[in-house]
Structure 1
Amino acid sequence: MCYDIALNANLQRILKSVPLLKTAGNLDLNFDTTYHKIGMSFPQWPVIVNNNGLKVDKYTWGPVPKLLDTLEKVKRQRQMYLNARSEKVLESGTMWNAIRHQRCLIPVTGFFEYRQIPEWKNKVAYYIHSKEQEVFLIAGLWAYSNSWDVDKPERIPTFTLLTRAANPLMRQIHNGGDNAGRMPLMLPNELALQWIEKDITETDIRNIIQYEYPAEQLEYWPVNSVRKVKPDDETVIARAVYEGLPELSL
């Protein structure tokens, strides 16, 4: 699944990538650019929603479902809701189906996944981004959740990032673990803006979640592990050299 993302871009660069956002509300939003945030830290992130018009606002990554009704449960299980399988959005009875009308977009400049190499002790981290868009958009869902980091939980806006079956390139990179063969649901601008339209049909939603971002439009390279403490700067995405690393194919 996708738990590591980057947004090395300010609001003006997001607006440049999605021109229609120039009509959005809350354009005085400030946020810290980053080369890496891990979902398990439940960071705040700029999110695009359609709430009586396009808006950009800060939401917290990681919904807190009602079944997580104690702080102990939240600590144990919240990370399971950082990502949502896009197939579940139209599956009756799921949490994601229940909030399918609460759609959002997550702007990023790149994301990270780990590749398992036969007979290698450690997986190899890769940085992946779009060749076509400096800032690209990932489909998501949002919800108001209890904030369990205070004595009396208050309701805060949160989001989950949607994933789908990986394209041929990402199947080779994200090839290990319980959730191998997944990638973020990356959308071109036209589909991204359709995703947050108020009146789209279930057929529209089905068509959008079936979109596969083309492998040839992705640029990627190995990096040092992003799960180790390091400065939040360009060294995070610097190309790393691994002797004997097998080539990927398209």
Structure 2
Amino acid sequence: MCGRFALTATPEEVKELLALLEIEDFPARYNIAPTQPILAIIAGDATEPGSNLPTRKALLIRWGLTPSWVKDPREFPLLINARSETAIGKASFKVAMRHRRILIPASGFYEWHRPPKESGEKSQAYWVRPKGGGLVAFAGLMETWSSADGSEVDTGAILTAQSNEKFMSIHDRMPVVIAPEDYERWLDCRTQEPRHVTDLLTPPDEDLFEAIPVSDLVNRVANVGPELQVRIDAMPVPAPKAKKKTGGNDDGQMNLF
């Protein structure tokens, strides 16, 4: 799951990573929450001068996907995440998977380790960022919802996958990250059908991120400063649980859900 993330890079850094021709200025954001505007990157119609590659455009969309067929968003659940394993077949996501795949630049995301209530332990928030800093691009989906009066709202969701083994001890889901060399294929909805890009919908490499324990300030949307990402003294990241040995044949296959 991804319920909060941050984009603290400069517009120039985002422009360089995503190979954008232009981008409007924006402030650093340390606590991006559902229903707020988020930056999305889409494939453009034109091609770059001297290249056959289509241009990429940056736009703001609302975090929380609303399918075009929804009549009243107030009566529809807020879809901030989409499970990558089932998005191709889900009514809410399958059209976007075919026609409106996007990239969502991020400096990292927040996640909470919530132990069982009977353990008596408190929940611990983590700031999960690329080791050494930098930017990543989450795989995302976009839909444009139109109201009865003709007004339109661009909305989106972040695709998630089962966590890699290192992160599993914090949470069982994490955002799908698209590598720079795969940006073009992911965004190309003209020639690349969903079945052609499912190989990209995998957990991030275990060496990509580091999890930093932080305070519970991130729980409040009103808190938007860099203090949200300051490391605190806390219990170390729980070690992944060892698999229990069982008798008979064990094919090592894990349950995705």
TM-score (norm 1): 0.81
User: Retained in 2: the 8 A contact 1:31–1:46?
Assistant: no
User: Retained in 2: the 8 A contact 1:48–1:106?
Assistant: yes
Give secondary structure in 2 for the equivalent of 1:170.
Answer: coil
The match for 1:14 is 14
1:188-203 → structure 2 map (5 Å cutoff): 188-197=179-188, 198-203=190-195
Question: Structure 2 counterpart of 1:65, which letter?
Answer: P
Q: CA-to-partner distance for each residue in 1:90-146, whole Å, 9 max, x for gaps? A: 22x522112212100000001001002352353110000112661110000111014
1:57-136 → structure 2 map (5 Å cutoff): 57-66=59-68, 68-70=70-72, 72-74=74-76, 77=77, 79=78, 81-91=79-89, 94-100=91-97, 101-117=99-115, 119-131=119-131, 134-136=134-136
User: Retained in 2: the 8 A contact 1:29–1:57?
Assistant: no
Give secondary structure in 2 for the equivalent of 1:63.
Answer: coil
Q: CA-to-partner distance for each residue in 1:41-97, whole Å, 9 max, x for gaps? A: x111111001313101111111223564336415xx2x2x11111122322x52211
User: Retained in 2: the 8 A contact 1:168–1:215?
Assistant: yes
Task: Note if 1:236 corresponds to 2:231.
Answer: no
Q: Unmatched 5+ residue regions in structure 2? A: 46-54, 241-257
Q: Quick one: distance in 2 between partners of 1:71 and 1:95?
A: 13
> Percent of aligned pairs with the same residue?
23
Give secondary structure in 2 for the equivalent of 1:215.
Answer: coil
Given candidates 219, 222, 238, the residue that maps to 1:248 is: 238
Count residues with an aligned counterpart: 226
Higher helix residue share: 1
Deviation at 1:184, TM superposition (A): 0.3
Q: Quick one: distance in 1 between partners of 2:72 and 2:12?
A: 40
User: Retained in 2: the 8 A contact 1:59–1:157?
Assistant: yes
Q: Unmatched 5+ residue regions in structure 1? A: 175-180
Give secondary structure in 1 for the equivalent of 2:86.
Answer: helix
User: Retained in 1: the 8 A contact 2:170–2:237?
Assistant: no
Give secondary structure in 2 for the equivalent of 1:163.
Answer: strand
User: Retained in 2: the 8 A contact 1:82–1:160?
Assistant: yes
The match for 2:43 is 50
Q: Quick one: distance in 1 between partners of 2:167 and 2:102?
A: 23
User: Retained in 1: the 8 A contact 2:67–2:144?
Assistant: no
User: Retained in 2: the 8 A contact 1:103–1:141?
Assistant: yes
Work out which of the two has the higher radius of gyration on C-alpha atoms and give 1 or 2: 2
Deviation at 1:172, TM superposition (A): 0.8
Q: CA-to-partner distance for each residue in 1:154-176, whole Å, 9 max, x for gaps? A: 211111110111101221111xx
Give secondary structure in 1 for the equivalent of 2:220.
Answer: coil
Deviation at 1:247, TM superposition (A): 4.1
The match for 1:159 is 156
Q: Quick one: distance in 1 between partners of 2:221 and 2:204?
A: 31
The match for 2:212 is 221
Question: Structure 2 counterpart of 1:238, which letter?
Answer: V
The match for 1:178 is none
Q: 1:68 to 1:90 in 2, by over 3 A?
A: closer
Q: CA RMSD in A?
A: 2.3
Given candidates 143, 159, 174, the residue that maps to 1:183 is: 174
